[in-house]
C-alpha cells in the first residue's frame, strides 16, 4: 500500500500586510502564498530583495501572525499562545544570515550552543548534547571549541556554531534565512554541504531563503520563486532551473554564469508591496510582454489586466503566467 507523504509545514492562503506609514498604502509583503514542505526535503525560497522572503519565513516560524490564511505544522494550525509557540520553536529552528550578529561576543561556543537547551529546560546531559551537536556540525574535536569566543573563529566556523545552536534541540525543520550570504565562496560550499549531510543523516527538512538561484541549484530538492509577495513558479529544482517557464525565473537564471546566453536586464521600477500593479504583478518589467511575444500569443491584455491565481501548494511544477499557460495550451 502506498501512502501520501504528509507535509510537515504548510502555508495556506497566507497574507501579511504591514500598515502604511505616514499616509502610505499598506504593504502587502506576503500576498497569498500556499507552500508545503515535506519531511526530509530542502525547499529553496528564491527572489530579489524586498519580495517578501523573510516576512514569509518569519511567519512560518510563528514570529509574524498572518493577516489572513494559516500556517499548519504536522497537520495542525499554529497555536500563537506563548507556551505553544515555545514548544513549536523547539521543533522548527531559525538560522540567520549573519553569524556575527547571531552570536553574543561575550558567550563562549559552549554557552551559545547550550543556551537553547537551558531555555527549553533540557533534562538530559547538557555537556554531551553540546558535544554531539558540535560534532554533527563538523566542529571537531568539539572540546576544542567549548571555550572559544566568536572572535576566535572563522566566519565559516561561526556559521557552524549558529547551526549547532539550532541542531542541539533536534528540530525537525530549520528555516535558514540567507545562511551563506555573508560567507566567502569557499566557505559557502562547506556550509551547503553540511545542510545536505544533515538532511541525509538526520532526515532534517529545511526552508532555505536566498536571492541566489545558483545556491538553490546546489542544495534544494524543490524551489519556489517569489515575486512581490507571491510564488510565481514552483516545483522540482532540476526542472525549474533547466526549463524555467516564468519570464521572471528566466530573467533570474539568465544572469548565472552557468546560463551561457545573454543576461535579461529587467527594466521598470523595483517592486513595491504598497503599490502592487493590476493584472500580472510582473507586467511592467516583463521582457516577454515588452518584446511583443505575449501580444503574439494573444495574452497581452490579460497580462495587463488579469491577476493570476495563487499557486496551490504541493510538489507539482506550477507557474503563474498567462503566456506560459497559453504556450502549454497551444502545445508549444
Ligand X SMILES: Nc1ncnc2c1ncn2[C@@H]1O[C@H](COP(=O)(O)OP(=O)(O)OP(=O)(O)O)[C@@H](O)[C@H]1O
CB of 149 to ligand X, least distance (A): 28
Report the chain's terminal Cα–Cα distance, integer Å: 38
Considering the rule CB under 6 A, would residue 286 count as an interface residue with ligand SF4? Answer: yes
Considering the rule CB under 6 A, would residue 228 count as an interface residue with ligand SF4? Answer: no
Considering the rule CB under 6 A, would residue 211 count as an interface residue with ligand X? Answer: yes
CA–CA separation, 163 and 83 (whole Å): 24
Residue 289 interacts, among ligand SF4, Mg ion, ligand X, none and using kind-specific CB cut-offs from 5 to 8 Å, with ligand SF4
Judged by CB under 5 A, the residue of 17, 54, 205, 318 near Mg ion is 54
Considering the rule CB under 6 A, would residue 50 count as an interface residue with ligand X? Answer: yes
Buried b (16+ CB within 10 A) or exposed e, 51-75: bbbbbbbbbbbbebebbebebebee
Ranges within 303-322 binding ligand SF4 (CB under 6 A): 303, 321-322
Q: What is the DSSP string of 111-133?
A: HHHHHHHHHTT--S-HHHHHHHH
At 53, list the grid cell.
Answer: 522572503
Residue 15 interacts, among ligand SF4, Mg ion, ligand X, none and using kind-specific CB cut-offs from 5 to 8 Å, with none
Q: Which residues pair with 206 in a beta bridge?
A: 42, 174
CA 284 → CA 61, 136, 232, 276, distances in Å? 33, 47, 15, 11
Judged by CB under 6 A, the residue of 29, 114, 167, 252 near ligand X is 29
- How many other CB atoms sit within 10 Å of the CB of residue 228? 24
Radius of gyration of the chain (CA): 21
**Which of 73, 313, 46, 98 shows the shortest CA–CA distance to 173?**
73
Judged by CB under 6 A, the residue of 110, 145, 146, 323 near ligand SF4 is 323
Residue 237 interacts, among ligand SF4, Mg ion, ligand X, none and using kind-specific CB cut-offs from 5 to 8 Å, with none
At 278, list the grid cell.
Answer: 493590476
CB of 291 to ligand SF4, least distance (A): 10
Site size with ligand X, rule: CB under 6 A: 13
Positions touching Mg ion (CB under 5 A) are 54
Positions touching ligand X (CB under 6 A) are 18, 27, 29, 47, 49-55, 211, 273
Positions touching ligand SF4 (CB under 6 A) are 246-247, 280, 282-283, 286, 288-289, 294, 303, 321-323
Amino acid at each position: 500500500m502506498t501512502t501520501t507523504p504528509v507535509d510537515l509545514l504548510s502555508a495556506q492562503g497566507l497574507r501579511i500586510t504591514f500598515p502604511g506609514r505616514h499616509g502610505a498604502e499598506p504593504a502587502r509583503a506576503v500576498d497569498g502564498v500556499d507552500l508545503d514542505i515535506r519531511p526530509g526535503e530542502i525547499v529553496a525560497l528564491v527572489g530579489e530583495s524586498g519580495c517578501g522572503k523573510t516576512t514569509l519565513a518569519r511567519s512560518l516560524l510563528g514570529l509574524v501572525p498572518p493577516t489572513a490564511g494559516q500556517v499548519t505544522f504536522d497537520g495542525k494550525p499554529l497555536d500563537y499562545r506563548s507556551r505553544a509557540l515555545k514548544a513549536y520553536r523547539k521543533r522548527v529552528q531559525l538560522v540567520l544570515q549573519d553569524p556575527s550578529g547571531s552570536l553574543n561576543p561575550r558567550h563562549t561556543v559552549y554557552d551559545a550552543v547550550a543556551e537553547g537547551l537551558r531555555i527549553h529546560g533540557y533534562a538530559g546531559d547538557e555537556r554531551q548534547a553540546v558535544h554531539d551537536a558540535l560534532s554533527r556540525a563538523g566542529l571537531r574535536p568539539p572540546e576544542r571549541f567549548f571555550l572559544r569566543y566568536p572572535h576566535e573563529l572563522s566566519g565559516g566556523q561561526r556559521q557552524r556554531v549558529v547551526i549547532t545552536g539550532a541542531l542541539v534541540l533536534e528540530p525537525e525543520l530549520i528555516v535558514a534565512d540567507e545562511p551563506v550570504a555573508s560567507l566567502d565562496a569557499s566557505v559557502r560550499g562547506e556550509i551547503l554541504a553540511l545542510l545536505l549531510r544533515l538532511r541525509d543523516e538526520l532526515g532534517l527538512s529545511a526552508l532555505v531563503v536566498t536571492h541566489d538561484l545558483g545556491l538553490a541549484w546546489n542544495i534544494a530538492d524543490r524551489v519556489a520563486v517569489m515575486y512581490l509577495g507571491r510564488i510565481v513558479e514552483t516545483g522540482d529544482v532540476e526542472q525549474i532551473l533547466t526549463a524555467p517557464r516564468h519570464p521572471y525565473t528566466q530573467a533570474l537564471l539568465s544572469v548565472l554564469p552557468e546560463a551561457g546566453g545573454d543576461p535579461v536586464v529587467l527594466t521598470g521600477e523595483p517592486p513595491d508591496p504598497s503599490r502592487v500593479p493590476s493584472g500580472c504583478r510582473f507586467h511592467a518589467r516583463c521582457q516577454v510582454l515588452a518584446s511583443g511575444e505575449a501580444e503574439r500569443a494573444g495574452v497581452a491584455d490579460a497580462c495587463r489586466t488579469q491577476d493570476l491565481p495563487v499557486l496551490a501548494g504541493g510538489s507539482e511544477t506550477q507557474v503563474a503566467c498567462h503566456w506560459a499557460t497559453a504556450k502549454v495550451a497551444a502545445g508549444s
